[in-house]
Amino acid sequence: MLLKDHVVVVTGAGGALGSALVAAVAAQGGIVLGTDLVAGAGVDIVHDVTSEASWRAVCEEVEKRHGRIDGLVNNAGIVHVGHVETTEIDDFRRVQAVNVEGVFLGCKVAWPLLRRSTAASIVNVSSTAGLVGSPNHVAYVASKGAVRLMSKSIALHGATFDPVIRCNSLHPSLMDGHMARVLTGNAENQSEAIQAIVAARNPMRRLALTSEVAGAAVFLLSRMSGFVTGSELVSDGGSSAQ
């Protein structure tokens, strides 16, 4: 019970990693509030992370229900496939709006509620694409790199508080699901094809399981990682170690 009675907000809760995060936080005794653009399983509040007003509504609701936030997982994200020559500025901006501005707004608007916690921890979901380049995902790589360094800036600010507010970025490699299909150009559900692509490149010869990545997030949310802030936790089977 690493997160017993921790109030944890998870964005993008209806997605592949989001639903695993919701399950993992609950399994560790946390009180989880899932938000997503689309209503569905695991989604308590419909929420657009690109909107400050929508973030304020989420935080008002959490304040009413629980009075504080102990954990914030900025997980909602989108991907766009295209290199520098083929990516239109509107597509580039849309990716930054969700993946970068959404994370910034979450940290900013939730800050007063995080300050009420004695164990405040923010986990910003980046990607291995925030550590190394990928020619055909220029907008996505830019956004995930921004999340990585923004998290360090927020961590340094959070460390000046008493109690501190910790902030770390999390860097998964490909996980099976909708985004992996878009990223690998497999529009249809072709798990086997994706597995084959990943097996050829990944030292552990497989995709990341969403439960494994969620487990890494649980560690960052918990008091076990109490002196970990401004760090990058990579969950990629060793692919970025090459």
Ligand X SMILES: NC(=O)c1ccc[n+]([C@@H]2O[C@H](COP(=O)([O-])OP(=O)(O)OC[C@H]3O[C@@H](n4cnc5c(N)ncnc54)[C@H](O)[C@@H]3O)[C@@H](O)[C@H]2O)c1
**Residues with catalytic function:** 140
Shortest approach of ligand X to residue 49 CB, angstroms? 4
Report if residue 110 touches ligand X, rule: CB under 6 A.
no
Shortest approach of ligand X to residue 102 CB, angstroms? 6
Would you give the binding string for ligand X spanning residues 11-40, x where CB under 6 A is met?
xx-xxxxx-----------------xxx--
Which element (helix H / strand E) includes 74?
Answer: strand 71-74
Secondary structure letter of residue 63 according to DSSP: H
Shortest approach of ligand X to residue 163 CB, angstroms? 27
Of 114, 123, 125, 146, the one binding ligand X by CB under 6 A: 125
Reduced to 3 states (helix: H, G, I; strand: E, B; else coil), residue 212 is: helix
- CA-to-CA distance for 146 and 156, rounded, in angstroms? 16
Going by their DSSP bridges, the two strands 71-74 and 232-235 should be labelled as unpaired
Report if residue 237 touches ligand X, rule: CB under 6 A.
no
Report if residue 139 touches ligand X, rule: CB under 6 A.
no
Q: Beta-carbon neighbour count of residue 85 at 10 Å?
A: 6
CB 74 within 8 A of CB 123: yes
CB 231 within 8 A of CB 217: no
Shortest approach of ligand X to residue 19 CB, angstroms? 8
Residue ranges that bind ligand X, judged by CB under 6 A: 11-12, 14-18, 36-38, 47-50, 75-78, 98, 125, 127, 172, 174-175, 177-180
